[in-house]
């Protein structure tokens, strides 16, 4: 999140959604307030597209759906409306209404970390995500180095973290997928060949 769209007015969800449909930019909504989202860097965008593509390729013959960063999700327990970098839905998708613009039941959520949002993605945003009953996997992708952090919901309700670095493969048991970290970072995003640029 960045700055509030307007500091004094409180918006209803319906007002937010109507504004969002007319806006060329995306915004998050939380407890009556609307927050402008910053645009992603080239590196952020490429990593988000790449991991979504790898997930989609791995799941092409499964009853799962991969959605990109234009899919808004709603966290019913806290009235947060937000846009993850990628989402996987296992089984039938549930939306807030017939427009199918806002997803309620993600199984897996991916966030590519940005300097301006990393603490939020790790902290408050993850707190909200953890209240989604359907969510099993939360994946954080670093822009600074080949590093993928995978949080998995345990039967007890706790979350187990596994780090995956270069030379290893991200294993998502809930959907039967294994993705090479090197493949996620396969193209360096500058002219030097430095994967951490």
Confidence band (pLDDT; 50, 70, 90) for 38?
confident
Which DSSP symbol is given to 40? P
52 & 92 share domain: yes
Mean pLDDT of 157-170: 97
Query: Of 7, 183, 5, which Cα lies nearest the Cα of 81?
Result: 5
| Sign of the torsion angle spanned by Cα atoms 159, 73, 26, 31 | negative
| Residue range 43-63: mean pLDDT, rounded | 94
Q: Find out whether 68 and 59 touch, Cβ atoms under 8 Å.
A: no
pLDDT band, residue 14 (cuts 50/70/90): very high
Residue 8 pLDDT: 64
Is residue 163, in this structure, part of any structural domain at all? yes
Structure tokens at 110: 């991916």
Name which residue leads in pLDDT, 137 or 38: 137
Domain match, 19 and 110 both: no
Reported as a pLDDT band with limits 50, 70 and 90, residue 169 is very high
Decide which of 46 and 197 is more confident.
46
Q: Are 11 and 19 in contact (CB under 8 A)?
A: yes
Identify the band that residue 7 occupies on the pLDDT scale cut at 50, 70 and 90. low
Collect all residues with Cβ–Cβ distance below 8 Å to 23 and sequence separation of at least 6.
Answer: none
d(CA 108, CA 91): 12
Token pair listed for 92: 């039938």
13 and 94 in a single domain? The answer is no
Same domain, 108 and 173: yes
- Same domain as 106, residue 26: no
Indicate if the pLDDT at residue 26 is higher than 80.
Answer: yes
User: pTM for the complete prediction?
Assistant: 0.90
Instruction: Look over the chain and give the mean of its residue pLDDT values, rounded to a whole number.
Output: 91
How many Å apart are CA 142 and CA 112, to the nearest integer? 6
Residue 78 lies in a domain: no
Among candidates 179, 83, 172, 96, which has minimal Cα distance to 136? 172
Helices (H), the chain: 13-22, 42-58, 118-122, 124-129, 181-184
Are 18 and 60 in a shared domain?
Answer: no
Is residue 195 domain-resident?
Answer: no
pLDDT above 90 for 1: no
Residues 152 and 64 occupy one common structural domain: yes
H or E segment and range at residue 34: strand 33-36
């Amino acid at each position: 999140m960045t700055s509030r769209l307007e500091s004094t007015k409180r918006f209803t969800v319906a007002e937010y959604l109507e504004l969002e449909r007319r806006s060329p930019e995306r915004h998050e909504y939380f407890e009556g307030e609307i927050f402008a989202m910053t645009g992603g860097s080239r590196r952020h965008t490429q990593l988000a597209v790449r991991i979504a593509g790898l997930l989609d390729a791995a799941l092409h013959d499964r009853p799962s759906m991969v959605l990109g960063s234009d899919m808004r999700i709603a966290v019913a327990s806290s009235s947060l409306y937000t846009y993850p970098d990628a989402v996987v839905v296992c089984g039938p998708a549930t939306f807030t209404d017939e427009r199918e613009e806002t997803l309620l039941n993600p199984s897996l959520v991916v966030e590519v970390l940005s300097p301006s949002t990393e603490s939020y993605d790790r902290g408050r945003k993850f707190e909200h995500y953890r209240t989604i009953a359907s969510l099993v996997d939360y994946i954080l992708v670093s822009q600074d180095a080949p590093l993928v952090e995978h949080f998995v919901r345990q039967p007890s309700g706790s979350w187990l973290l596994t780090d995956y670095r270069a030379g290893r493969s991200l294993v998502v048991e809930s959907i039967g997928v294994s993705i090479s970290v090197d493949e996620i970072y396969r193209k360096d995003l500058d002219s030097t060949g430095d994967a951490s640029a």
